[in-house]
Homo-oligomer: A and B are copies of this chain.
Amino acid sequence: MTKPDNFHPFDGDHLREECGVFGIQGTTDASAHTVLGLHAPQHRGQEAAGIVSSDGNVFHTKKVLGHVADNFTSQSVIDSLEGDAAIGHVRYSTTGATELQNCQPLFAEFASGGFAVAHNGNLTNAQHLRRQLVSQGSIFQSTTDTEVIIHLIATSHFRTLMDRLVDALRQVEGAYSLIALTREGLIGVRDPLGVRPLVLGQLDGAYILCSETCALDIIGADYVRDVEAGEVVVVTRDGKLESFKPFKPKAARPCLFEHVYFARPDSLVDGLSVYDVRKRIGAELAIEAPADVDLVIPVPDSGTPAAIGFSNQSGIPFELGIIRNHYVGRTFIEPTDQIRHFGVKLKHNANRWHIQGKKIVLVDDSIVRGTTSQKIVAMMREAGAAEVHMRIASPPMAHSCFYGVDTPERDKLLAARMDVDAMNDHIGTDSLAFVSIAGLYRAAGQSEGRDPARPAFCDACLTGDYPTFLTDQASTDDRESQLTLISAASGDA
């Protein structure tokens, strides 16, 4: 399996979006477009990929552990995925086991015909529902939360597939952007809070549903709009677009970290240019936490837009102080201690002949465990930097995400273990600062900052304010206090 190089230098110390989805209905090249479209969201998941295609009657499936680019681009594979509709999924496992049966799209043969589904997000009551279903005779083939939805549909007492789907979704909690392929056509669903993104595009009469607009660009499609929180859209086999909202309305709480890190800078997410938001975060940082330095240096690649914003705001020159080795490829299936040690330098190197003797500020998007911030600071000092300051384009992250992002255990999060001064010592910087939550909200278009009664985003990883029940996390006792917290925080009460 090819392991690509990453946006961020240090794999082990960054959040990972678990999944990306792409679907299209109404073109003879459905699977070819899906293969292309899945290239865009591979930053959202690269350990497994799958595509299901259909002409409405027959469904074709190919799923692999590995990359879209390595497994789906031959003509024979594309030809085998026949049909005028297709959905695809790329996945980043949170668990150790990325087994093939856990790869998506999941497929089931219902009495009413075939049904394939791809899911971005995570359910917070999947374990609970699964136990119920198994006790009633359902047999699970995977350990994914998504399969719960399929069994809820199969055993629903409603008659039509759409009624069964809604019946199923009303029972689940958590975050989900779903695309499904059925006999009737392509279905897209975004959960009532709209935690994970989902956009609608169009190309010569065909409709596309996908995680980010950059996937539309890759196939030359037009962006139509974002699917709304709590909305179900259906693209029928005869090309009509239908929309309805079967859930109890709630104020949307899309993930704020999409803007900070997950989404690609060339995407538009919920109406905002990701690149521009990141530049504005950098500008906010330059105002909130200026640095008296010679050079602004991005931690490549995700820190670059914020670094440009910081440089523009501060007037301090932007320079490439860290050079990526683009050719690392898959490294170190069986790393030796000797070599693991050099991991940072293999992927990146200080541009020592330019920075020696200079005072620098490093701009990065976030700190998770802090392990690699330490290394990169040390690398800059070894290369001769006179002072090393660091500015972070997000507030301290002190809480786990349960909505489809791979966060470490809470006690591994640096910000859960210490305050900013302690972090500064730990990482070895001359100064360390994070953008404020207010500054981040401003950069994301909320000029008033964060309204605690009605926050515009899910920012649970930064604030601990979880917008849904966490049934599988909670014991009975916890549950009650959690209920209170949620009511207060989401303003639903």
Q: Enumerate chain A interface residues (CB-CB to B < 8 A).
A: 2, 4-7, 29, 32, 35-36, 39-40, 42-43, 46, 67, 69-70, 73-76, 78, 100-101, 108-111, 134-135, 137-141, 150-151, 154-155, 214, 217-220, 264-268, 273-276, 301, 304-305, 308, 312, 317-320, 323-336, 338-339, 342, 345-346, 349-354
Contacts and interface: CB of A to CB of B under 8 A. Distances in A.
Given A36-B339, A100-B100, A317-B312, A333 B154 contact: no
A329 B67 contact: yes
Nearest to A335: B73
A48 to B, nearest CB: 13
Per assembly, the copies of the chain total: 4
Contacts of A150: 139
A244 to B, nearest CB: 25
Given A266-B351, A308-B320, A323-B214, A2 B139 contact: no
Contacts of A32: 336, 338-339
Nearest to A147: B139
30 contacts: A2-B330, A5-B5, A6-B326, A32-B339, A36-B339, A40-B349, A67-B327, A67-B329, A69-B331, A70-B329, A70-B330, A73-B332, A73-B333, A74-B333, A78-B336, A78-B338, A137-B151, A138-B154, A139-B139, A139-B150, A217-B349, A218-B345, A218-B349, A265-B351, A266-B350, A267-B353, A268-B353, A275-B320, A276-B354, A301-B326
Q: Which 4 A-B pairs have the closest CB atoms?
A: A42-B327, A273-B353, A137-B155, A266-B323
A404 B479 CA distance: 54
Contacts of A312: 317
B135 A217 contact: no
Contact of A134 (B39, B109, B141, B276): B109
B42 A325 contact: yes
Nearest to A67: B329
Given A39-B328, A273-B354, 10 more contacts: A2-B330, A7-B326, A43-B325, A73-B336, A137-B138, A137-B154, A217-B349, A218-B342, A264-B349, A308-B319
A420 B344 CA distance: 43
Nearest to A382: B220
B141 A141 contact: yes
B327 A43 contact: yes
Given A329-B4, A349-B218, A354-B276, A334 B75 contact: yes
A38 to B, nearest CB: 10
B73 A326 contact: no
A13 B268 CA distance: 31
